[in-house]
Amino acid sequence: MSHDVVAPPPPRTVVVTGGALGIGGGISRRFARDGDHVVLVDIDADAAAATSAEILAAGGRVSVLVGDITEDDTVARLASHVADEHGHADILVNNVGDFRPAKSFFAKSPPEQWRRLHELNLWHVFSVTHALLPGMIAHGAGSIVNVSTVEAFRGIPGNAVYSAYNAGVSAFTKSLAVELGPSGIRVNAIAPDLADTPQTTAELMLAGRDPALLRSWLPLGRFGRPEDFAGVVAFLTSDDAAFITGHTIPVDGGTLAASGWYGKASGRGWTNMPDQA
């Protein structure tokens, strides 16, 4: 009887922008744990070094590129690194995004803030994807996952510009998926909400409120963790998702599904009147 040993698949090259902390850090650690080589791009050198050290200590593969991904020089250095060291990227995760800086109301917001929000939430998605696509197309395969937000699918007062740019991320995801399907490249996105990360800590979001109230705000009753989002990204880039492209998957504990309904504080039923929650 033959007992052939099946060799593990070769490590994939995975580029993660903003890959040091929060959701990006969770994504970097997940791919490294799965045996892939992570190219971690981050503006925070200390955070990148710490996450890299953690990955290496666990036996993973990682290389670090420090820089602002909204700048052309950083994108060019990333493209050169990937081409020189790996030939092409198998997976690209465009994770960088931020609702800051932002005024409370659009009418009071200066145009320079719109420009920075554009760079942080939409422009770099275009520029990084554009830089790494030729290698994927030549290889005839690849997977791109963009990080949008649930705020692209509902009104959010005080963050109209941020919401608009992330709606653009999801629209770009859908259209690019159609365009790149014949090239063997899939494009999807996730839409997080209420993630407990260094950018938006649980303490900041609670702002002194009773944590027990979480069960009335979110159907699943808790904030998201980095690994919650990383698991969905890992799925979308796996063979199990080989027939999924062009979609934005909410990873939000049920907030979009609830659509303004809140669990009553008494635990008895639901209300769409927050003052009764």
Q: Which residues are catalytic?
A: 162
Q: Are 120 and 68 in contact (CB under 8 A)?
A: no
Give the whole-angstrom CA distance, residue 194 versus residue 77. Answer: 33
Per the rule left: phi > 0, alpha: psi between -120 and 50, beta: everything else, 263 is: beta
Q: Name the 3-class secondary structure at 267.
A: coil
User: For residue 146, what are the CA distances in angstroms to 38, 56, 82, 167, 236?
Assistant: 16, 26, 19, 12, 11
Residue with tokens 């409370």: 104
Beta-bridge partners for 186: 143
Q: Name the 3-class secondary structure at 236.
A: helix
Please name the helix (run of DSSP H) or strand (run of DSSP E) that holds residue 79, with its range, or none.
helix 72-85
Closest CA to 216 of 264, 260, 275, 276: 264
Cite the beta strand spans of the chain per DSSP E: 13-17, 37-42, 61-66, 91-94, 142-147, 185-192, 248-251, 262-263, 270-271
Length of the chain: 277
